[in-house]
Amino acid sequence: MAAVEVPIEKWTGKVHEVTLGGNGRKSVVVGGESTLPFLHFEGSLPRRPVIAIEVRDSEPKDWSPHLVDAWGDVLADPAAWAKKAMEYGADIIALSLRSAHPEEGNTGADEARKNVDKVLSAVDIPLIIYGPGVAEKDNEVLVAASDVAKGQRVALGNCEEKNHRTIAATCIADGHVAIGKTPIEINLAKQLNILLCDVGLSRDSILMDPTTGALGYGLEYTYSVMERLRLAALGGDAMTAMPMICTAGEESWRQKEAKFAEGMPEAWGDHLERALTWEEITAFSLFAAGADIMVVRHPGTVERMKAVIDRLMSESA
């Protein structure tokens, strides 16, 4: 019987490498893949996918009791929170400037500067900085954050079509990376990358966020759009070849399955077990679809993702 010949895909494209940090700060490089996730036998995977832990600049009021238990007092202090996140194994801190949200404090540029500065001094790993998700406020606090973090090569998000000029300009001026976010659609993702390049941001300064649907809440859409984006990138389309970032933590802990302990169906099982598994399966499925950076919330998820990725990245795999 003849030996079975396993078909090998000959990819022509490669994911761009993006560096965060550096300049005295530890650096993290993501991207560089020339094959599908964890398929070492037909290409190279020079960088491991990494974990960012979400830290907020103001104490979250509506988080699940299990997140509150896991983090304790540090929830009220972004610097202490970031430090603890680093101890738990975060590769990156994703600082969310929620206090600027009109309904959660409506703070402005000054508060953003102060908090970014605090967190930058508390940890020596790279930062992602998110605005509150409200257009005018995003521009205000992200530009301020960009200035404080000048030279530290942080990632700024979210950058959408409507504010891409502002975010790209500040990234170019201060040497940062933009996170382009589009609603689960391959052409929109590509289009935003083109727009960002057109205004002068270099390819190695863009991450793309395809928009995360949590397990049971649109995961399958995100999963497939990511597979398509990655296949396009490996097929040679440089405008879909930006490393991908997903927000598994925020999306899964927002859902009823994770949030509520009381009055849920018995078949949902133990609350902590179910909630953690919800975040972990969301995160892991999206790593399997090509995510390079996963933003999560629970320390248990960080531990488990690291253990599993270690095994998937070992060359013998």
Q: In terms of Cα–Cα distance, which of 202, 206, 204 is closest to 189?
A: 206
Q: What is the 3-state secondary structure (H, E, C) of 200-233?
A: CCCHHHEEEECCCCECCEEHHHHHHHHHHHHHHH
| Residue 89 lies near other proteins (rule: CB under 8 A) | no
Q: Which is nearer to ligand B12, 55 or 186 (CB)?
A: 186
Site for other proteins in 173-192 (CB under 8 A): 183
Hey, what are 84's tokens? 């603890």
| Residue 268 lies near other proteins (rule: CB under 8 A) | yes
Which of ligand B12, other proteins, none lies near 185, with the C-beta cut-off 5 to 8 A by kind? Answer: ligand B12
Q: Which of 59, 147, 204, 227 binds other proteins (CB under 8 A)?
A: 227
Q: Which of 34, 38, 113, 199 binds other proteins (CB under 8 A)?
A: 38
- In the complex, the smallest distance separating the C-beta of residue 188 from ligand B12, rounded to whole angstroms, is 6
CA–CA distance, 156 with 178 (Å, rounded to integer): 5
Residue ranges binding ligand B12 (CB under 6 A): 183-185, 188, 211, 213, 217-218, 221, 251
Ramachandran class of 134: left when φ > 0, alpha when ψ lies in -120 to 50, beta otherwise: beta
Helix (H) or strand (E) holding 162: none
Which of other proteins, ligand B12, none lies near 193, with the C-beta cut-off 5 to 8 A by kind? Answer: none
Q: Which is nearer to other proteins, 68 or 307 (CB)?
A: 307
Helix (H) or strand (E) holding 57: none
Any long-range contacts for 44-50 (C-beta under 8 Å, 24+ apart)?
A: 45/313, 46/17, 47/17, 47/292, 48/309, 48/313, 49/287, 49/291, 49/292, 49/293, 49/294, 49/309, 50/91, 50/92, 50/292, 50/293, 50/294
Which of other proteins, ligand B12, none lies near 269, with the C-beta cut-off 5 to 8 A by kind? Answer: other proteins
| Residue 219 lies near other proteins (rule: CB under 8 A) | yes
Q: Which amino acid is located at 270 in the chain?
A: D
- In the complex, the smallest distance separating the C-beta of residue 282 from other proteins, rounded to whole angstroms, is 9
- Would you tell me which residues interact with other proteins (CB under 8 A)? 1-4, 6-7, 38-41, 183, 215-221, 223-224, 227-228, 231, 256-257, 260, 263, 265-274, 276-278, 280-281, 284-285, 288, 304, 307-308, 311-312, 314, 316-317
